[in-house]
Structure 1
Amino acid sequence: MPRPWSKEEKEIIKKNLLIEARRLFEKYGLQKTTVDEIARAVNISKGSFYIFYQSKEELYFDVLEDVEREFKDKMFKNAFEPGMNRRKSFKSFLNQMIDLLITMPLYKEITSSNYELLLRKLPEETLEEHMQRDQEEVSKFFNYWMDQGWMKKVDIEALNGLFLSLIHFVIHRDDFKGSNFEAAKDLWIDALANYLIIEDDKAEEIKVK
């Protein structure tokens, strides 16, 4: 009978699961990647896989969170580029976010047809914890932008909900006909930037007061 893994060994295996799962998910997608393939990639049995995750969907969600952490801070920190008109810069930031969600291998396959299936496979507490972390991470940027006079002071929870709607908007992109998605995206970005972002000269007036 094999000896139990130590805490350190479990941490190494979980780290390798995230690395190998990302490689497989990016290459084959969530639907075509199997638990057997993931387990083989890290030299554990299929049964041992379930010590770490209840399903491949739960692992997929963990991989997504890792990917988010890689780009979220960088993107939000660069939302307002020095020397660029503030609203134009914010619109560019939103466009980059949407393009990333559409083109990144792990994100682009999440559409309205499989999104609900993914959510049903995840433990409720996992989703709640993810939402809480997400809100805390982006709220610090919203608060900073408001304190700088770059963004209107609005309810943070409502603002978090608005950005969550961006993700759902992208997920349901296949529901749009023809070029309607691009047109709706441009309208959404313009409306958001024009309402939330304070023009450069007005921000200076606020600081003087």
Structure 2
Amino acid sequence: MPKVAYSEEDRERIRQALIAEGLRHMARQGVQHTTVEQICKAVGISRAFFYSFFPTKEDLMVEALYLQQPKILAHAQALANDPALSRSEALRRFLTDCCYGEKNGIAVLTVEEQRLIFRRLSEESARVFREKQARLFGELLECFGIPANRERVALFTNVSLAAMIVRRAIPDTLPLFVPEAADQTVAFQINAIVEGFEKFQKTSG
């Protein structure tokens, strides 16, 4: 007989499992190809029960992105603390891992996926998301020995996400780009980012 009553502990366990499965599917196949049915099947609940936790799939995806943030930071810290890597080499490795996120369990949103999610967010939720994102990117800069200020965080956010988005977008969303040069394009962008932020390292003492 199916269980009809869940304790608060049960519900929280299921909620966390939904978020974890949402992140796993999103990292592997993207938001648009991740369905509520896939997530429910992995967790072992019904679609109807899913909606008692999250009003939409997009709300779950936002929670999954929040879950991902400390994992991304821990990965950056591990690279930065690797004695075999300079800070610049660690930053290059980190950005490369993010750009090829589907190989490394890191969810990277395409332009379409960003629009899809943010259309569903309230103004307050969008503000909170941006604040958490800015905090994450500031902490990432500090990991690699670059003192973070508002301008550097904004620049690092934009150039890093641009490299990730371009890599995800070639050739489907950006059909005029040359797919054969996609990997070289990503490497060029990452090298430019690292070289640009090396200057901040040197001037920061």
Q: What is the TM-score of this pair, normalised by structure 1?
A: 0.70
Aligned partner of 1:197 among 189, 197, 201? 201
Alignment of 1:130-145 (within 5 A): 130-139=129-138
- Consecutive unaligned residues of structure 2, counting only runs of 5 or more, are none
Distance change in 2, residues 1:169/1:116 (3 Å) = farther
Deviation at 1:107, TM superposition (A): 4.4
Decide whether the 8 Å contact of 1:112 with 1:172 is kept in 2. no
Alignment length (residue pairs)? 189
Decide whether the 8 Å contact of 2:19 with 2:60 is kept in 1. yes
- Cross-structure match for 1:160: 153
Task: Specify the code of the residue in structure 1 equivalent to 2:129.
Answer: H
- Cross-structure match for 2:8: 7
Decide whether the 8 Å contact of 2:77 with 2:143 is kept in 1. no
Deviation at 1:82, TM superposition (A): 5.0
Decide whether the 8 Å contact of 1:111 with 1:171 is kept in 2. yes
Distance change in 2, residues 1:76/1:157 (3 Å) = farther
- Cross-structure match for 1:71: 72
- After superposition, the C-alpha distances for 1:1-49 in whole angstroms (9 at most, x for unaligned) are x855332222111022123334444555432332123223333332221
Q: Which stretch of structure 1 is more off in the superposition, 90-99 or 135-144?
A: 135-144
Decide whether the 8 Å contact of 2:19 with 2:63 is kept in 1. yes
Task: Specify the code of the residue in structure 2 equivalent to 1:94.
Answer: L
Q: Which stretch of structure 1 is more off in the superposition, 48-57 or 22-31?
A: 22-31
- Moved >4 Å (runs of 4+): 80-84, 106-109, 140-145
1:32 aligns to what SS in structure 2? Answer: coil
Q: What is the TM-score of this pair, normalised by structure 2?
A: 0.71
- After superposition, the C-alpha distances for 1:62-112 in whole angstroms (9 at most, x for unaligned) are 22332331231341464365586xxxx232232122212222225466333
The yes-or-no answer on 1:96 pairing with 2:113 is no
Distance change in 2, residues 1:93/1:128 (3 Å) = farther
Distance change in 2, residues 1:158/1:121 (3 Å) = same
- Consecutive unaligned residues of structure 1, counting only runs of 5 or more, are 204-209
Identity of aligned residues (%): 21
Aligned partners of 1:110, 1:79: CA distance in 2, in Å? Answer: 25
Decide whether the 8 Å contact of 1:39 with 1:46 is kept in 2. yes
